[in-house]
Amino acid sequence: MNLFIYQFLLPLLALSTFAFLVTAAILYYKEQKSNYEIAWVYQGNALLNLKRYEEALESYQKAIELNPQFELAWLYRGFALLNLERYSEALESYQKAIELNPQSEIAWVSRGAALLNLERYSEALESYQKAIDINPQSEIAWRNRGFALLNLEKYEEALMSSTNMESPQRF
Amino acid sequence: MNLRVAKALFKSFVWIMLTILFGLLQLWLVLGSSLLIRTFNVSYEKIFLDGVLLFFVTAVVTALATDYYFSDRPYPGWAETIMFAFFPFVIIVLFVWLFGICLGREDLDIDIEGLKNVEYAVLFMTFIYAIVVKFIEFFHEENLKK
């Protein structure tokens, strides 16, 4: 019995405790790191408000480097790129945000905005439709959907979309 | 040490202290009585070997692991497996084994000292488990507040 306890059981306990503590330390480190990701995004937002888009973009890039799964960083990166008129890159950024959270209405609306600027109206329309599916009360989605339809020369539908925008609850 | 870490540490410490206080209230009352009433003697060895502490720590470890599975499960799969499946499993299997051995200690030829050492180790592991799991949980909550 003693042999079992001292040569097998206690070392096993020590090993399990060690594995547990290492895991906890990694989780703590990740949790700490998430503070920095958010700090970079906050800095990026401040720079975005100051219209210092290149610097804002760098901040969002730093946040993404720390955590590539950080959806908000991808979304804001898209805003910075949109303001820099780098629409294709903005589109990629929004695409990534959507991959991470397919239910993000704002990501679909923003994707639509990038596509509108790239004059890819049909795809923009699909994007706005998706945003409306997620939130039928989204005024910006209805309005921009109307704009996409206008560019596709579907005037009646565009008018309906605008009417919806004014009182979306009817639909 | 930043404020969030200090807060999370403090909360986890208070959590474990309150759990020990209320979870083992009967034991504290018995021990308190033995100090006040001279004719009432409590054997510490009996407390250890009767498995009173084993039931308490089983409840604590199980509650911590179960709570996690009902939470928003913020940790990656591998960490989840180690922290909330493997480690509690090791502790609980040991409790079952220890309890079985403690029950049959009079019929089996057992080294009581060795058994006590395992029980100390398991109690220590549980204490570490509870304080670390609660710390990580409270720290995560503190981070969500920002």
pLDDT tens profile A14-60: 888 888 889 888 888 887 777 778 888 999 999 999 999 999 999 99
Closest approach of A113 to chain B, Cα-based (Å): 30
- CATH 1.25.40.10 range(s) for chain A read 18-101, 107-171
Determine the pLDDT at residue A164.
65
Does B30 have pLDDT greater than 60? Answer: yes
Instruction: Give how far A31 is from chain B: nearest CA, Å.
Output: 7
Structurally, chain B folds into a number of domains equal to 1
Q: Which CATH class is domain A107-171?
A: mainly alpha
> Which residues of chain B are at the A interface, by a Cβ-Cβ cutoff of 8 Å?
75, 78-79, 82-83, 86-87, 90, 94, 109-111, 114-115, 117-118, 121-122, 125, 128-129, 132-133, 135-136, 139-140, 143, 146
pLDDT of B24 higher than 60: yes
Domain containing residue B91: 3-145
Choice between B37 and A48, residue whose per-residue pLDDT is larger:
A48
Identify the pLDDT of residue B102.
78
The confidence score (pLDDT) of residue A76 equals: 95
Evaluate whether B123 touches A63 at the Cβ level (below 8 Å).
Answer: no
The mean per-residue pLDDT over the stretch B68-81 comes to 82
Q: Which CATH superfamily, name and number, covers A18-101?
A: Tetratricopeptide repeat domain (1.25.40.10)
Name the band, by pLDDT with cuts 50, 70 and 90, for residue A168: very low
Could B82 and A23 be called an inter-chain contact, meaning their C-beta atoms sit closer than 8 Å?
A: yes
The string of DSSP codes covering A75-104 is HHHHHHHHHTT-HHHHHHHHHHHHHH-TT-
Report helix, strand or coil for A20. helix
Q: For B121, which of A10, A19, A23 is closest by C-beta distance?
A: A10
Q: What is the pLDDT of residue A32?
A: 76
What is this model's ipTM? 0.73
Q: Which of A87-96, A131-140, B116-125 has the lowest mean pLDDT?
A: B116-125
Query: Residues, chain B, total?
Result: 146
> Could you tell me the pLDDT band of residue A80, with boundaries at 50, 70 and 90?
very high
3-state helix, strand, coil in chain B (%, to 5): 80, 0, 20
